[in-house]
């Protein structure tokens, strides 16, 4: 991860989108939190990678023995610990860690979860107990593709191979078994232009983190062009393309 990407995430500080007025229609029936609940119990130890401001861990994770949630952004972890104080939960620890240089113990966790973050499959394999489970959810190359094509740039826009396939192959190579890859499609409708703009300013959808890219503001004329052709009764449409992977050690 280069410095530009690190700086971007460090400035975001949280991933709480509750103030953005939007609705969604799930086209694919894949829910990582349901899978997590079905594969954990009160004695489980869970490692969450790319936890952001901890909102998902605090609101959607099951009650288990221990949760360690990490993010490489110091600002994200500050936000997560502030959110933790408000929750009164005692089994969760938030701390800073680079996913590509993990310092967690070997054969310790029953489940490792990762959302929209870079990972090292071999290091995840090492920290899982035998029989432990990896649950990964990522953003694929074709996410918001029409918007990216209009702007001529975006996250993974220039990649030759889909991120989902790269992760899938790395997980297989690390020694995991029962590896399953599921494409996830979601329709999101944003009520206003400001709601859509808030999403784009808070996520790297239109960023490619290239060394030559300047920190320019989003071109509102291009955004207006997109909105003109993608506005419906339910709102401004974005087609989101994610992927889910489950695997066993």
Choice among 32-41, 136-145, 199-208 with the minimum mean pLDDT: 199-208
The whole-number average pLDDT for the span 215-226 is 84
Element (H, E) at 84: helix 74-87
Q: Is residue 17 part of a domain?
A: yes
Q: Judging by DSSP bridges, how do beta strands 66-71 and 235-248 pair with one another?
A: unpaired
Q: Is residue 174 part of a domain?
A: yes
Are the C-beta atoms of 99 and 50 separated by less than 8 Å?
Answer: yes
Calculate what percentage of the chain has a pLDDT beyond 90.
77
Concatenated DSSP letters of 116-178: SS---HHHHHHHEEEEEEEEEEEE-TTTTHHHHHHHT--TTTT-SS-HHHHHHHHHHHTT-EE
Mean residue pLDDT of the chain comes to 90
pLDDT category at 11 given cuts 50, 70, 90 is low
Q: Is residue 213 part of a domain?
A: no
pLDDT at 169: 97
Check pLDDT > 50 for residue 174. Answer: yes
Q: Is residue 215 part of a domain?
A: no
The whole-number average pLDDT for the span 8-23 is 65
Are the C-beta atoms of 157 and 208 separated by less than 8 Å?
Answer: yes
The whole-angstrom separation of Cα 224 and Cα 134 is 40
CATH code, 27: 3.40.50.150
Q: Is residue 199 part of a domain?
A: no
Q: What are phi and psi of 180, to 5 degrees?
A: -130, 130
pLDDT at 172: 98
Other C-beta atoms closer than 10 Å to the C-beta of 197 total 16
Q: Is residue 36 part of a domain?
A: yes
For residue 85, the enclosing domain spans 3-141+159-185+241-248
How many domains is the chain built from?
1
pLDDT category at 218 given cuts 50, 70, 90 is confident
């Amino acid at each position: 991860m280069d410095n530009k990407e690190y700086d971007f995430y460090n400035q975001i500080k949280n991933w709480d989108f509750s103030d953005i007025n939007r609705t969604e229609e799930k086209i694919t029936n894949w829910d990582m939190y349901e899978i997590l609940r079905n594969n954990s119990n009160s004695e489980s130890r869970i490692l969450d990678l790319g936890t952001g401001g901890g909102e998902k861990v605090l609101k959607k994770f099951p009650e288990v023995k221990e949760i360690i949630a990490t993010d490489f952004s110091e600002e994200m972890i500050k936000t997560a610990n502030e959110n933790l104080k408000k929750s009164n939960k005692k089994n969760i620890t938030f701390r800073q860690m680079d996913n590509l240089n993990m310092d967690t113990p070997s054969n310790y966790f029953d489940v490792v979860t990762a959302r929209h973050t870079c990972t090292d499959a071999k290091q995840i394999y090492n920290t899982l107990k035998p029989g432990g489970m990896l649950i990964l959810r990522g953003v694929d190359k074709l996410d918001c593709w029409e918007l990216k094509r209009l702007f001529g740039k975006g996250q993974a826009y220039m990649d030759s191979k889909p991120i989902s396939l790269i992760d899938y192959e790395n997980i297989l190579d690390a020694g995991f078994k029962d590896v399953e890859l599921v494409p996830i499609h979601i329709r999101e409708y944003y009520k206003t232009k400001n709601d859509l703009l808030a999403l784009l300013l808070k996520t790297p959808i239109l960023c490619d983190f290239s060394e030559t890219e300047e920190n320019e503001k989003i071109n509102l004329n291009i955004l207006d062009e997109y909105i003109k052709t993608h506005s419906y009764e339910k709102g401004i449409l974005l087609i989101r393309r994610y992927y889910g992977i489950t695997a066993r050690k």
